[in-house]
Structure 1
Amino acid sequence: MIAKGNEPMGLRANPSQRQRRLGEELRKLREASGLSATEAGSHAGLGRAHMSHIETGRTAIPEDKLCTLLTLYGCTSHPYREALIEMNRATGRGWWADFKQSHSVHARDLAELESAAVAQRQFQWLYMPGLLQSAEYTRALIQSGEDQASAERVDKYIEFRLRRQRVLADGSASYHAVIHETAMHMRFVPREVMRDQLLHLVDVAQLPNVTVQLLPFQATLSAALPGIPFIVFQAVVPELNTVYVEHPVSSSFLTHEAHLAQYTQAFERLASAALPPITLPTERKSYAEQDSFGLIQHLLYAL
């Protein structure tokens, strides 16, 4: 909604990650063109304050004015331009909108990002990745961390997790996870739950768009690799790729090119150090061969 003088009304109190990212991209394009916000806004019929709110994701921009700015900024890449236009058209009213009362904006942002990505590359070392968790593993994990949580809250959390996992089943995007062996030994959940979780992991790994590798304790790694879980989201155009870094206090969505390169390279090194992906053997293997399925068999025996 636009007020007199082309200034915005009804500013968003909590812009979504998608809305903030669109604003960031417009700011980067403007700065690369050498234009000030005042100069660009004047050309598009937008006030300086309105431009500032657009670039922070706090207000929307009409599509015609968006196209005007993209042309002004010299955005000649058709795929990138179309991706930004589609990002602007998105309403954010996907299935995750049904969980507005029970889940944070941050959690819904993650679900929206997962739904839009064409590929995900994830490293996890303490827990099973959310998209690969069985319902009972999720339930036990929540109950061990929030023993006062109501049954309704736990059920809602599990429902949200299972809805997120549909992105794997529909096969529209590829998913590659590297999971450290530590996650299989942590006693956050009962043994029988962990046993079923490992079997669930094998089942999900059979999907044609899913690759799961285990990183054993004896793997040789560089100390320079990230010591926290992360996900590299590949968008329809590389300019919109995103890294999600998990943190117990405040997780982050990173978009700077240097961060994207750092975590992409880190995942490649982790995948190279990990065991070959989980696949069901079609013939008898040599005992000398080591792979992720073999490690799971060993862990199942130990449980």
Structure 2
Amino acid sequence: MAELEAEATCLRSYESLFLPGLFQVEGYTRAIFEASDAVSTHEEIEASVRFRSRRQRVLTDDRPPQVHAVIHEAALHMRFGGTDIMRQQLLRLVELAELPHVTIQIMPFTAVAVSALTTPFCHLASHNGALETVLMEHPARSAFLHSDDDMAKYRRQFARLSDAALPAIDATIIPVKHASQDSLGLVQHILYTLQGAST
């Protein structure tokens, strides 16, 4: 995955229960690995956290990929690492959305059901779109898809997911001019809920 991300010129991902690895703060990543069977010792967990943190450098490289993520609201409520870590994580989402090459949309619980809603995937394109791969990660084994038919299918699925999701996080819009419900508004609402839970 890291090699694909490093070569990608465009990256589109849909996540239903976790935030994309490229967006995760260390505490969130650590909590995921601590709850996973993939690694067991403290040393393995810390090595995995460091590796994921290094992967995130692709977002700040001189020529970063265009990144577009659709994240289900459920992932924002999963408290990996506890309330304080989740507050850091949601603030990190807003911070990353300020980058000109990063687009983050939230799929609310109220969205009309669309195809592939429960199947997370990452669609990566490199060499200006000439090479494409879809990655579907599973606990036992990840699947890599490369056929033209699969690429067309997942491009359509991502377009439907994006259309069904809330407008992208845009921290440059002043609060009173936000739509009645957009991705930033939903993130801020959950942050407010977390603030209440920590007091």
Could you state the TM-score of these two structures normalised by the residue count of structure 2?
0.90
Work out which of the two has the higher radius of gyration on C-alpha atoms and give 1 or 2: 1
Structure 1: tracts of 5 or more residues without a match: 1-109
Q: 1:176 & 1:280 partners in 2: Cα distance?
A: 16
Aligned residues, how many? Answer: 193
Deviations 1:44-89 (A, max 9, x none): xxxxxxxxxxxxxxxxxxxxxxxxxxxxxxxxxxxxxxxxxxxxxx
Q: Which protein is richer in helix relative to its size?
A: 1
Matching of residue 166 in structure 1 with residue 57 in structure 2: yes
For the pair 1:183 / 2:47, whether they are aligned, the reply is: no
Q: Counting strand residues as a fraction of each chain, which structure ranks higher?
A: 2
Read off the aligned partner of 1:174 and give its amino acid letter: Q
Structure 1 residue 173: deviation in Å?
1.1
Look up the match of 1:209. 101
1:99 — aligned with what? none
Distance 2:39 2:143 in 1: 27
Which residue identity does 1:292 align to in structure 2? S
| 1:147 to 1:191, Cα distance in 2 relative to 1, 3 A | farther
RMSD in angstroms over aligned alpha carbons?
A: 1.9
Q: In the aligned structure 2, how far is the partner of 1:277 from the partner of 1:202?
A: 10
Cα distance change on mapping 1:147 and 1:177 into 2, 3 Å: closer
- The residue type paired with residue 168 of structure 2 is P
Structure 2 residue aligned with 1:131:
22
- Contact 1:213–1:278 (CA under 8 A) maintained in structure 2: yes
Contact map agreement 1:232 1:244 (CA 8 A) in 2: yes
Structure 1 stretches (4+) deviating beyond 3 angstroms? none
Q: Which residue of 1 aligns with 2:197?
A: none
User: Relative to structure 1, is the Cα distance of residues 146 and 241 closer, same or farther in structure 2, using a 3 angstrom cutoff?
Assistant: closer
User: Residue by residue, what CA displacement relative to the aligned partner does 1:174-210 show, whole Å, maximum 9, x if unpaired?
Assistant: 1010000010112343111111110111111111111
> How many angstroms apart in 1 are the aligned matches of 2:147 and 2:173?
44
Structure 2 unmatched ranges of 5 or more? 195-199
